[in-house]
Structure 1
Amino acid sequence: MTGQPSIVEPLPEILVEPVVRAALAEDLGRAGDITTTAVVPADARFRGVVAARQPGTVAGTAVATLAFRLLDPTIRVTVERPDGSRVAPGDTVLRLDGPARAVITAERTALNFLCHLSGIATCTATLVDAARPHKARITCTRKTTPGLRALEKHAVRAGGGVSHRFGLDDGILIKDNHVAMAGGVAAAIRAAKLAVGHMVRIEVEVDTLEQLAEALEEGPDAILLDNMPPETLRQAVRLIAGRAVSEASGRITAETVPAIAAAGVDIISAGWITHSAPALDLGLDA
């Protein structure tokens, strides 16, 4: 990967703590970590690091830190590579010093979050790099793990991407089923404009240039150009002519992004960067 890191501020702890606490409780079960309690002396200390084992982009350091500190607030966690940092194999991400039992008990929960979120950031950064030097920005969708949306969208930002709608209530996105039920693209846009206030933006999905022309007559704020090849996207961008935000979606990979970005779209959205990103390999070493 190339380009500059996208260092981002961590999410407020009040948003993260319930998710991390639930994950720890799930792992601790009914009796806690019986293996560590049996094997590790109560007074043992752990000094070590969480290190990268493959190249990638880091996300989730605050989440991992909280997992350790919820087990024992005396654990000292030093973040060496903040969210958004690019790492190479062997780079230290976190440095830990504290009671060994608590560190080892929290290890898997902390790494589950850190590896998963870093995987999302890494996939996002790969697409962001592929879109350069064009203006297109990479965005995620609502295709997130239930309960982890805020964390996963934060990881997208760490990878240099931006967020699409956070939920169903913060923007109108008229998709194919809406169009079918409303009686057409134009009818759907008109109904949406009548239903919401002036602060709510309206986007409509189109599959053809004919649908695009119909949509443009109604003046939506953004148009999602679904599964269009690059040549069709170029025609669509010319037709839009800056009257709406143009978004390309469908078959988005690091290989297809350069041609899609070169077509001149403003946004490229990809659901897989949150729902199917492989975890980044990070490990805890004493």
Structure 2
Amino acid sequence: MKELTHTASTVASAASRRVTGSGRRREINSIKPVTEFLLHLFFLLVSVACVFPVLVVLGVSLTDQDTIYMHGYNVIPRVFSWAAYDYLLRDLGPIAKAYLISIFVTVVGTLMALTITALVAYPLSRPDFAFRGFFSFFVFFTMIFGGGLVPWYLVYTNFIDIRDTLWALIVPNHLLSAFYVIIMRTFFTTSIHPSILESAKIDGAGELRIFTRIVLPLSLPVLATIGLFYTLSYWNDWFNSLVFMNNDKLINLQYMMYKAMRNLQFLNTFAAVGGIGDQTAKLPSETARMAMAIIGMGPIVLAYPFFQKYFVKGLTVGAVKG
């Protein structure tokens, strides 16, 4: 017994020396200090490269128009001015309404798109679904081949007339994406083991209960990822307002900013032709572009911290656990 105890202690001390002794063998998954410093420096530079353009846009939007023409773009304004924001916010009521419409369309559209995408992707991930191959091919085919702009417009104006309604900002282009269906189907297939679903069936759960109580809670990472993509698509969309909206009271924020920019360009062109450039030179055309970007950024920035925890959780999906 004493010999076994002595042998075990010898092996343990040898293993300890191999891992931590004399500094020659490092701990598992550790990296060299130089490598760690270079990694931190690399990600710091990437972060600065991402934040710096935003700071430039903010600085230009707060700069006087003449200063931009004389000195170019600067992060810190040489001459501070609110002229661009005064020009854009002169009619605060329509902008506030466009903001509310954009928020409503983004929230409702994202929830509807996620629901439909999950309802389509889940049956396609089930091997016991009889028409799995046919519908998978149908989804994949629509991702490669499109009907074109004219048939797309005729469907939403002649067959289902949704012009001058909020449905025109929700349904076309964004409500269902074949690419996101394939991504979600792949996640369901690889990350949710069939034995979990079989256990739920044995306990008496139906398909709808399995989907809502088991599949969706286990799929938060992919739901958050695709939900963010849908959110960005709805928030940045202006084309649907251009095509389907004749009522200015129902346009979203992005299209309103687009119209303001187009009006500025028209005034500059008219001034150049009519020889009244001195009057239009006072308009903050260059700084207004940057102010539009800052205003359009708006609440969408708050979406990233909300989805971040699910992205981190998604990094461990499929990891080997001991």
TM-score, normalised relative to structure 2: 0.25
Which of 1 and 2 has higher RCO (CA within 8 Å, sep 6+)?
Answer: 2
Q: Which has the higher strand share?
A: 1
